[in-house]
Amino acid sequence: MPADRTILHVDMDAFFTSVEQRDRPELLGKPVVVGAPADKRGVVAAASYEARKYGVHSAMPSRTAYRLCPQAVFLRGDHAKYSRESERVMAILRQFTPLVEQVSVDEAYLDVTASLRLFGDGEQIAREIKRRIRETTGLTASVGIALNKFLAKLASDMRKPDGLMVITDADKLDLLRPLPIGRIAGIGKKTEPVFHEIGIHTIGDLQRFPIETLRVRFGVWADEMKARALGEDDRPVEPYGEAKSISNETTFEKDVSEMKTLERTVWELADEVGRRLRAEGVRARTVQLKLRWSDFTTLTRRTTLPEATDDEGQIAEVAIQLMRRELKEPRPVRLIGVGGQNLLRSPKQLDLLDRGSNRRDDLNRVADAVRARFGAKKLRRGGEL
């Protein structure tokens, strides 16, 4: 991977709530929360910067958010509207390079290395992107510029909201050194204490820590974390074409060992995977299960099916079989994931003798239509209950 790349990370500022505040001026300057109502079970999808001052953040239970900030305005949100705004933003980014990797509805990486002669250096491009987004959508974005994806995202995070930051190869180590270890993607609040136990509190500590000792504790993950601490990241910017895999995972607030709870979670994850497969018009030939134990070691198991599928029931059943093989004895599970791989776009060959299979396809299409109109939670499979 060339060392002189110019990578941008564009991140919309408090995207959902900013769209609502733009469209409803009476909300400007007020704490706004998009997600479940304050008196219902559910979580926060997004919080405005005014709400974040009270400790409200995404994925927090809405009831907790209300206790922290009872004066906040809670909105269900309009995800169709947010998707339309996202498409407008992504169209602006593609005016500067075809190498745009959209990683969520409100953020993307750009490789503008080949665009510098046309539009100027990375900082000039970033300022023009910010200007066009503001003029076109009335929203603000923060942009980080660096020679790789890790540093570019770090830069955009460090200058939010409405910020711009450049991290050069010359200053990356000094900038990284005092930052807490949690600033490295993949090291969260539950993982940080594991690093603290061996004396790693800052990225500088990790820069100096012997790689051999890290490998003993973290396995192959150690090399990736060490590289990030040194500001190294050779991942290319990959524009999404055909999806290579579709997966869904969740981390439990407390480790779970009860098989019924784990199986119910597999059904919920498979349900989302099946819907996304059908939305993409693809079927999975391989089902994958991911388990992470309480000590952070991670295991993946997969099975290749005789025929590709987009049926969440079949995906869940296969994933549960894989899980039962690994959990013959109860063991605390921290994270569980379900995915479909080896995706095929060719239509399924209809088996005229398998009327049940065709009925499942019809049922899935009807279920998708119901969920699209009334919400994903309005229709659940019996296995999830």
Which active-site residues does the annotation give?
A: 107
Residue 366's contacts (CB-CB under 8 Å, 6 or more residues apart) are none
Query: Which of helix, strand or coil describes residue 166?
Result: strand
What's the number of CA atoms in the CB half-sphere (13 Å) around residue 247? 18
Return the sign of the alpha-carbon dihedral for residues 210, 214, 216, 220: negative
Q: Is 86 helix (H, G, I), strand (E, B) or coil?
A: helix
For residue 158, CA distances in Å to 145, 151, 167, 179 come to: 12, 10, 11, 11
**Contact indicator for 281, 243 with CB cutoff of 8 Å:** no
Between 221-229 and 211-218, two packed helices, what is the crossing angle to 10 degrees? 140
Beta strand pairing call for 32-35 and 73-75: parallel
Strand duo 164-166 + 141-146: pairing: parallel
Residue 201 in contact with residue 209, Cβ under 8 Å? Answer: no
Per the CB < 8 A criterion, the answer to whether 252 and 343 are in contact is: no
